[in-house]
Homo-oligomer: A and B are copies of this chain.
Amino acid sequence: MDKNKFAINPPMGWNSYDYYDTTVTEMDVRNNAIYMAEHLKKHGWEYIVVDIQWYAYGTGSKRDQYQYIPFSKMAMDEYGRLLPCPERFPCSENGKGFAPLAEEIHRLGLKFGIHIMRGIPREAAHRHLPILGSKHTANEIADPSSICSWNPDMYGIRPDVSGAQEYYNSILKLYASWGVDFIKCDDICRMDMPSAKKEIELLHNAIVNTGREIVLSLSPGPAKLSEAWQYETYANMWRITDDFWDKWELLLQMFERCEHWQYHVGEGCFPDCDMLPVGKLGKGFGKERDTNFTKEEQKTMMTLWCLFRSPMMLGAELTKLDDWTFSLITNDDVLKLLTVSRNARQVRRDEYTAIWRADDCSQKCSYLALFHLSGEHTIEVSAKELGLETFVGKQLTELWTKESIKENSDHLTITLPEHGVSLFQIKTI
């Protein structure tokens, strides 16, 4: 199994976090999956991912104090492997785990993913639980000083001791047996935390060991540029940002993050700009609310993600999508870039403007995105700056409006709304 061969384009799907936080239930997942199958699948959306703490009891019950209640009860088998909390996922009872839910989702023609935390449950280590397929016990592989800075559930693993690989093998084997297609492993790549390079490799090995094509996604980001080789060698996608939310400052920063990571996009291998906080969000965080992004900002986001070829995970509650948001995420001309864009690269970046270019895999056209960041709304760009001889004889089609322009000079002048974007397909005519 070659990890880069089964998800060659950026994964597209839905993730429970932005709307449900830690409280998502089986029914919520099912409803979103049904919606996706009916309305979004035809546009390429296919993954349904259950995010953090599906194994925990009482999630959300102390939301004023904790996002993650310390020392709370977790569903776990006798080998220290976490299981879905039966209160929220009743179909998991009797040791079935996520198998029934995964099966439902597969029947809808979709794929199923889950979130995991790096390491082994602290409780497993304190209870000296055996590691399946090994003579070792959890306390032998757990590193009591390797803890997540924001979640209290796990201890990191001593990657070089006997039993470490076996532990990751044991959980991946279980998850593969359920039919999991996508693993989002958290607390495993972040600039300001110690390197977990070796644990990434163990996870990769464990996936290969299952024989199942499971996408490996790393969080929480921002990933370390200096560990790009590990990400590319062992994972399919890695977050280049900490949790992305609907704030302009975060979207603005993404231009710089994409600048840094533009050299690392490849087949089966994607720097990840994180979920799309569009539509209805936030219920599990306290109150359902609409995205704070303006429509222009949302188009800017969609353009950057698609051109750059970031994985695309919807944060919205799908069953509550409004028409405009639906049109945003089903613009096939724009979404197509996820498949055909190649060599996306920053051409200009200053306080006011970002300009990106990309080729098309067919080599029959190319792409140009002009972004308004601040200040003046009119952007001028020369053909030369874009690596073109001239605009004469080119047709530029804006992919959001479908409007075409023909420039008869070597300069292009575009006026954009606040935080707006124009995304052109450029063809020689």
Contact = CB atoms under 8 A, between A and B. Distances in A.
A263 interface: yes
A125 interface: yes
Interface stretch (A22-30, A222-230, A324-332, A401-409): A222-230
- Interface hub of A128, A144, A149, A226 (most chain B Cβ within 10 A): A144
Contacts of A70: 125, 139, 142-144
- Interface hub of A70, A143, A145 (most chain B Cβ within 10 A): A70
A264 interface: yes
Given A71-B144, A145-B147, A145-B149, A228 B260 contact: yes
A79 to B, nearest CB: 16
Contacts of A144: 70-71, 122, 147, 152
Contact of A126 (B122, B145, B228): B122
A51 interface: no
B71 A228 contact: no
A127 to B, nearest CB: 8
- Chain A, interface size category, equals 20 to 34
A143 B152 CA distance: 9
A125 B228 CA distance: 38
B225 A126 contact: no
A429 B126 CA distance: 59
A123 interface: yes
Nearest to A144: B152
A236 interface: no
Nearest to A143: B70
A246 interface: no
Given A122-B126, A139-B70, A346 B145 contact: no
B152 A260 contact: no
A337 to B, nearest CB: 21
Contacts of A264: 263
Given A152-B145, A225-B225, A346-B229, A125 B259 contact: no
A22 to B, nearest CB: 16
A142 B263 CA distance: 35
Contacts of A125: 70-71
Interface in A57-71: 70-71
13 contacts: A70-B144, A71-B128, A122-B122, A122-B144, A123-B126, A126-B126, A144-B147, A145-B152, A225-B226, A228-B263, A229-B259, A229-B260, A263-B263
Given A70-B142, A145-B147, A225-B260, 10 more contacts: A70-B139, A70-B143, A71-B126, A71-B144, A122-B126, A123-B126, A126-B126, A225-B225, A226-B260, A228-B263
Interface of A: 70-71, 122-123, 125-126, 128, 139, 142-145, 147, 149-150, 152, 225-226, 228-229, 259-260, 262-264, 346, 349
Which 9 pairs across A and B sit closest by C-beta, in order of nearness? Answer: A144-B152, A71-B139, A263-B263, A225-B225, A70-B144, A126-B126, A229-B259, A71-B125, A226-B260
